[in-house]
Each structure stands twice: as structure tokens, then as C-alpha cells.
């Protein structure tokens, strides 16, 4: 556990703050009894983890700060022994203390240490044992405690959060200096270019989409737009355009920038020429299908990329449109379509859930599973996960 990444200490912070350990018969590593009256206030800034705590050690009551680590040696690793902000620390809380070595404040006075591992409930102890393992879900070793219903609820939560994230991502492309109709079309077009750039060329595609939107009004034909775009991008002829750095290595032939730029230009041309009121009269799915049908360039968009654009661009864009117009019909239609959205997700994610013996029906083809891994499992935000809370309450 000594080698566990320190950025996951917030899980220990959660244990301390919520007192998820046996509070009776607590002793320092040198056998002085501890009574916790107030664990302190979680500190979101620099300095000790919890401020203004109140505890008793032996017959004395102390007021001050609490610092929490996985092991005693983290005190030195984080250089707290040289930081004057840590002179008010009255207790060093660690997950496990194998050395019983003292740690010292910058003023050279020793700090009492509390090791909490032996005071945790059995489910939490098992969880922390698995938490050390790399490339596995932290809860994978606790199957007897995991509720599949809890996992399904967590995936639903993650699926909702992922949609909110995509909405916020697209809002970055919204230009409030433009009329609403034009600003929304610009947002949609840049987002489509971004989606076409997945995975290696998102930045240059976004940049190109923004430039083309600004110049497209002066271009009379779709074919000329594509020619102009390829020249701007330095794709045709093969010269490096200023500010565009295209990655071709590792890309499938159909994912070559030349093809994606041409597809983006055709989508831009179609979207630009649809009168804005028409968007409000057309069903979301119908508008996407119709725009896709206007693509004449070969190779075509492909089912996989079309699915990505539908779920991660079209639906959040139309949710934004409904929000801008205070039109619940659009926001509800977009969000309900998202709830039913299914697409292939990376095997690296499904493999981890499969190893944990979680029913595939709860995560297969759900982008919430990807968000769950990226936002919760990988960074160790277990304390915010329904599955973890279910484990420790068992």
C-alpha cells in the first residue's frame, strides 16, 4: 500500500470525515488512547487535509489540524516536514503503519500517529485490499457485497453525467456575438468536425470547421468548399498548412483527414443551407438521417462514425437548441434519445467489467460505462460511487 498513488488519498479523507471506522478504543502507534470529538473541516486549499479538529490524546485535549496519508513515509515524500503550514498538525492519520517511525513537524516536535486499517469494517478492509491492484476495478474483489442493482444505478448516473459533459463541451463552440440561429449552426458544425476528427485529429478539425464556417458564405458551390478546405488544411496539395498538424499514422484508410474533411464540408454545406425554422419543424432523428443522406462523397461516413456523431454531437446540440429556445419538447426528445442510445464501447472497458463478473446487460453499448471508468474507476473516485457505498454499507 506504500506505493499507492497519493492522489487517491481523498478516499481516506472520506473515511475520516464520515468516521467510517470503529471510534472506540483508538490508540496512537505508541499506545496512547485517542478520542475524536471533531474530525475537522475538509481543506480544499493548500496545507493540512482537515482544519480545526478537536481530539483528546491521553488526558490532554488538542485543537489543530489533521493530515492523512496511506503510510507514514508520505509525510516526508510530500515534504511536510519543511512546510510551516504543518506546525498545527495534532494527528497524523495513516491507512497502515508498518514501521512505527515518528514523523516531525517543521518545528521538530513529534506528531502522534493513528493507523486506521484495523479499525475498518470487514467489507471496507477487503475493498482497500483490492484497491491496491492495478488494471482491475477496485470493487472487483468484493462480489459477495456488490449489488448488481447498485452497479446498474451507477451506470445510469454516469450515462446522465456523460451527456451533461457533452452538452458543456459543445457550449464552448457557441458564439454569443452571433444571432442565435447562426451561433447554433456554428456550434453544430464545429462539433461535427470535432467528431469526425476522432481520435487523432480533433484539434485541427475543430480549427478547420470554425474557419470554414466563417468563409462559407462567400463560397458558391459545395465542391468549391471542399477544394478550399483541403487547400486550407494543407492536405491537397500535400504541403503543411500553417497551424494544421495532421496525424495519419495509425489511422484506418477511411479515417484519413482528406476523407473526413470532405465529409465535414458536405455536412457544413447542408446545414448552412437549411433555413433555421425548418430545424424546429423536423424530428431530431429525421433531420440527422436527412443530413446524412445528402453526403455524396465516397468513402461514406460509415455506421460506426455516424453513431458517434448521432449520440455525442447531434443529441447534445439539439438539447442546447431546446434550452436556448426554452423548448422542452426539444430538450426532452434529445435527452430521451440519449437514454436509449447504444453504441460500441472500447474493449478495454468492457473487459474490466467482465472480469468483475458484472452482468453485460448493465454496461454493454452504454457510454455511461466509459464515463464510469474515466471519471470514477480510473481516478479512484470510489467514495462518490454508488457501488462503493453499497459495499461499505453491507
Distance between CA atoms of residues 68 and 70, nearest Å: 7
For the residues 222-249, what does the mean pLDDT come to?
79
Per-residue pLDDT of 142-173, as tens digits, reads 545 556 788 888 999 999 999 999 999 999 99
Give CA separation, 287 vs 189, 263, 271, 280, in Å: 14, 17, 10, 10
Q: How do strand 50-57 and strand 41-42 relate by DSSP bridges?
A: antiparallel
Quick one: pLDDT at residue 241? 60
For the residues 293-303, what does the mean pLDDT come to?
92
Whether the pLDDT of residue 141 is over 70: the answer is no
89-93, 154-158, 281-285, 346-350: which range is least confident on average?
346-350
Measured from the Cβ of residue 264, the count of other Cβ atoms closer than 10 Å reads 27
The fraction of the chain above a pLDDT of 70, given in percent, is 92
Q: Report which of residues 26 and 143 the model is more confident about.
A: 26
Q: Taking the domains of the chain in order of start, what are their residue ranges?
A: 6-120, 160-339
Per-residue pLDDT of 344-364, as tens digits, reads 888 888 888 887 777 788 888
The fraction of the chain above a pLDDT of 90, given in percent, is 62
Note whether 16 and 41 are within 8 A (CB). Answer: no
SS3 63: strand
Exposure class string for 137-160: b at 16+ Cβ within 10 A, else e: bbbbbbeebbeeebbbebbebbbe
Indicate the helix (H) or strand (E) that contains 273: helix 257-273
Which three three-digit cell numbers place residue 283? 424530428
Q: Which of 393, 386, 381 is nearest to 20 (CA)?
A: 393
Quick one: pLDDT at residue 353? 81
Amino acid at each position: 500500500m506504500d506505493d499507492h498513488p497519493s492522489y487517491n488519498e481523498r478516499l481516506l479523507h472520506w473515511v475520516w470525515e464520515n468516521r467510517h471506522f470503529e471510534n472506540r478504543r483508538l490508540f496512537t502507534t505508541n499506545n496512547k488512547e485517542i478520542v475524536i470529538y471533531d474530525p475537522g473541516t475538509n481543506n480544499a486549499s493548500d496545507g493540512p487535509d482537515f482544519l480545526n479538529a478537536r481530539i483528546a490524546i491521553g488526558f490532554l485535549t488538542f485543537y489543530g489540524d489533521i493530515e492523512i496519508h496511506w503510510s507514514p513515509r508520505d509525510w516526508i515524500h510530500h515534504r511536510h516536514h519543511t512546510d510551516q503550514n504543518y506546525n498545527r498538525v495534532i494527528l497524523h492519520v495513516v491507512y497502515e503503519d508498518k514501521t512505527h517511525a515518528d514523523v516531525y513537524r517543521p518545528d521538530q516536535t513529534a506528531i502522534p500517529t493513528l493507523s486506521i486499517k484495523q479499525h475498518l469494517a470487514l467489507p471496507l478492509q477487503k475493498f482497500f485490499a483490492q484497491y491496491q491492484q492495478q488494471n482491475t476495478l477496485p470493487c472487483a474483489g468484493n462480489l459477495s457485497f456488490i449489488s448488481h442493482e447498485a452497479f446498474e444505478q451507477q451506470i445510469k448516473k454516469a450515462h446522465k453525467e456523460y451527456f451533461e459533459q457533452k452538452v458543456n463541451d459543445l457550449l464552448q463552440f457557441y458564439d454569443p456575438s452571433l444571432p442565435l440561429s447562426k451561433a447554433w449552426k456554428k456550434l453544430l458544425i464545429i462539433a461535427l468536425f470535432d467528431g469526425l476528427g476522432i481520435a487523432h485529429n480533433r484539434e485541427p478539425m475543430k480549427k478547420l470547421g470554425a474557419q470554414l464556417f466563417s468563409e462559407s458564405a462567400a463560397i458558391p458551390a459545395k465542391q468549391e468548399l471542399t477544394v478550399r478546405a483541403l487547400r486550407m488544411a494543407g492536405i491537397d496539395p500535400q504541403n503543411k498548412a500553417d497551424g494544421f498538424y495532421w496525424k495519419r499514422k495509425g489511422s484506418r484508410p477511411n479515417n484519413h483527414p482528406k476523407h473526413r474533411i470532405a465529409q465535414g464540408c458536405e455536412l457544413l454545406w447542408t446545414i448552412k443551407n437549411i433555413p433555421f425554422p425548418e430545424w424546429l419543424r423536423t424530428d431530431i432523428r429525421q433531420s440527422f438521417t436527412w443530413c446524412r443522406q445528402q453526403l455524396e462523397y465516397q468513402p461514406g461516413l460509415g455506421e460506426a462514425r455516424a453513431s458517434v456523431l448521432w449520440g455525442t454531437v447531434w443529441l447534445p446540440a439539439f438539447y442546447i437548441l431546446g434550452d436556448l429556445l426554452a423548448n422542452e419538447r426539444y430538450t426532452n426528445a434529445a435527452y430521451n434519445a440519449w437514454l436509449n442510445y447504444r453504441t460500441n464501447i472500447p474493449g478495454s472497458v468492457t473487459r474490466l467489467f467482465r472480469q468483475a463478473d458484472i452482468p453485460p446487460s448493465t454496461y454493454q453499448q452504454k457510454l455511461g460505462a466509459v464515463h464510469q471508468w474515466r471519471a470514477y474507476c480510473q481516478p479512484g473516485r470510489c467514495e462518490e460511487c454508488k457501488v462503493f457505498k453499497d459495499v461499505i454499507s453491507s
